[in-house]
A and B are shown apart, each in its own frame.
Chain A
């Protein structure tokens, strides 16, 4: 079954999503910091990554995504960003445009709280398109 890495500085959010996704048969790893997240991504090369935006710094999530993309084998791993940050914080999330996605190194930005069914749907969507490309 697919392996998912969730990086978020909120233990409770991690725990809830982990429990939910595990029940749906995914293998879930969690990390509280971007350093920890990078270490886990490097070791286990997950099939999909969920990352928070505002962690130690307001843009930690972007830094994390950029570094993940630089890891061998993870250039194309689907990354969903989840954030509770207001839409406008000095930059706008423009994942509708490909330059926007390219710059942010993420495939999609979801606003917290992400409804679980919606999250599950997104994960299935990205994993299946990844499988069909493979």
Chain B
């Protein structure tokens, strides 16, 4: 083979600009030359090294494969006929082991079309007929190196693309919101795990819109957005129930190159706010009812009086007016309780936590209620351990809790009964029991006793006024101290309300 090094440098059509040379030096093409003829191998090596290639040589297929295992090659020049592994078999092996990253060029003195076809079928990139000129060799190797570079770039691009797809996939899958994508034929094509969780179903091919959204309004809204004109894309916000959940769905059109491509539905869980709003609505309805009931009774009495039909029985009129007064006062209590609850809820009640003696607080409250108790001959007693019973609390909060429980203990008691308030230690807390001898409650009646506006209604409680907010307030206030309120009761035997309050420092 002719060694024509100087000719290479002046090779026309291969502009050896400074930049190109620098690029080659930074990233030389790695060429593996496999030929059993030493002269041929060395000749090719010299030509290519002068051209800036990093050349390695191998005298047979085995050595070539070992070399490839050590470090990769961009181009392999493979002699067609060699002892041991022949050219075609080696081509196949090199391609397989390099994962297609090594571009194979076959060199052969037998310039037959059949041979060329055969090796191309094996995956060879080019065919170089011996003898060849250095220009010829360089030209073919550079084209092969270019191909190798393209292969590497495509691989890199594909792996980046896969990486990005993987990233968006991970983002969609880790979203707190549910994501469902529908194509223009209303078929779900994507669903993240959160959406599957929300809608209680697993994504599979061939699902339909109603499979995911049984709610007719939701399905109609999704269809409307799918059908909306791409130049006037429409977005919709929906709410729907899914099992125990309340979901909000934002539906927006999916555009593909400006054409309608379906919709994306983003689902978020709004159960908590929805429930809070519903509870608030319910509370307002209850308040309206509770305000109207006493007013109705009062207006009813006044109307009866105003008809004049009882003008001749002033005692009866007086009796009705007395009841109007009682109901009016109860109404005022209700409004006060509501205002208190509200100001507490919005944090307007200023609380000062200070060391308080439960015994002293209870004694003063019992003193306050003595007149009311005496009227019905109810004995009030306070039983407590010796020494002060200290808690850290706001005076107003303690008074409100005790006032409600003592007042109930008197209101729902029988004449000549008793109300005993007993303080005792219970681990890290004080336990305060309000034991009455009154009308008591059945198990069913006890169930809702700490709920707002719950009032036990039977012939025994008729005529006893109350706001239905007392015990609910006790529960709310206690919750602020990690305290608890419990009730034990039997009809006609009496009720015991027990309040636990953490001891100071306990």
Q: Are A36 and B459 in contact (CB under 8 A)?
A: yes
Residues A86 and B285 in contact in the complex (CB < 8 Å), given A32-B457, A33-B459? yes
Q: Are A113 and B309 in contact (CB under 8 A)?
A: no
Bound CA span A56–B289, Å: 13
Q: Are B462 and A11 in contact (CB under 8 A)?
A: yes
B462 CB contacts on chain A under 8 angstroms? 9, 11, 32
Q: Are A33 and B457 in contact (CB under 8 A)?
A: yes
Residues A10 and B285 in contact in the complex (CB < 8 Å), given A16-B320, A19-B304, A36-B459? no
B245 CB contacts on chain A under 8 angstroms? none
Bound CA span A84–B301, Å: 16
The residue from A15, A16, A84 contacting B293, defined by CB atoms under 8 A apart: A84
Contact residues, B466-498 vs A (CB, 8 A): none
CB of B71 closer than 8 Å to a CB of A? no
Q: Are A85 and B320 in contact (CB under 8 A)?
A: no
The residue from A9, A23, A84 contacting B296, defined by CB atoms under 8 A apart: A84
Q: Are A16 and B300 in contact (CB under 8 A)?
A: yes
Q: Are B285 and A85 in contact (CB under 8 A)?
A: yes
Q: Are A12 and B307 in contact (CB under 8 A)?
A: no
CB of A116 closer than 8 Å to a CB of B? yes
Q: Are B303 and A12 in contact (CB under 8 A)?
A: no
B303 CB contacts on chain A under 8 angstroms? 16, 20, 113, 115-116
Q: Are A86 and B297 in contact (CB under 8 A)?
A: no
Bound CA span A87–B307, Å: 29
Contact residues, B244-287 vs A (CB, 8 A): 285
CB of B340 closer than 8 Å to a CB of A? no
Bound CA span A55–B289, Å: 11
Q: Are B296 and A113 in contact (CB under 8 A)?
A: yes
CB of B165 closer than 8 Å to a CB of A? no
Q: Are A16 and B304 in contact (CB under 8 A)?
A: yes
Q: Are A113 and B295 in contact (CB under 8 A)?
A: yes
A1-18 CB contact bits vs B (8 Å, 1 = yes)?
Answer: 000000001111101110
B301 CB contacts on chain A under 8 angstroms? 12, 15-16
A131 CB contacts on chain B under 8 angstroms? none
A113 CB contacts on chain B under 8 angstroms? 292, 295-296, 299-300, 303
A134 CB contacts on chain B under 8 angstroms? none
Bound CA span A23–B310, Å: 9
**Using a Cβ–Cβ cut-off of 8 Å, how many residues does chain A contribute to the interface with B?**
26
Q: Are A13 and B300 in contact (CB under 8 A)?
A: yes
Q: Are B289 and A85 in contact (CB under 8 A)?
A: yes
Bound CA span A13–B294, Å: 9
Q: How far is the CB of A82 from chain B (nearest CB, A)?
A: 8
Closest residue to B306 on the A side, CB-wise?
Answer: A116
Q: Are A112 and B292 in contact (CB under 8 A)?
A: yes
CB of B315 closer than 8 Å to a CB of A? no
B296 CB contacts on chain A under 8 angstroms? 10, 13, 84, 112-113
Q: How far is the CB of A58 from chain B (nearest CB, A)?
A: 9
CB of B152 closer than 8 Å to a CB of A? no
Residues A112 and B320 in contact in the complex (CB < 8 Å), given A16-B301, A33-B457? no
Residues A112 and B458 in contact in the complex (CB < 8 Å), given A15-B323, A20-B309? no
CB of A54 closer than 8 Å to a CB of B? yes
Closest residue to B298 on the A side, CB-wise?
Answer: A12
Q: Are A20 and B457 in contact (CB under 8 A)?
A: no
Q: Are A19 and B459 in contact (CB under 8 A)?
A: no
Q: How far is the CB of B457 from chain A (nearest CB, A)?
A: 5
Contact residues, B318-332 vs A (CB, 8 A): 320, 323, 327
B298 CB contacts on chain A under 8 angstroms? 12
B309 CB contacts on chain A under 8 angstroms? 19-20, 23
A10 CB contacts on chain B under 8 angstroms? 293, 296-297
Bound CA span A54–B320, Å: 24
Q: Are A86 and B457 in contact (CB under 8 A)?
A: no
A13 CB contacts on chain B under 8 angstroms? 293, 296-297, 300
Q: Which 5 A-B pairs have the closest CB atoms?
A: A84-B292, A12-B297, A113-B296, A16-B300, A112-B296
* 7 examples of A-B residue contacts, CB within 8 angstroms: A12-B297, A13-B293, A19-B316, A84-B292, A86-B288, A113-B300, A116-B303
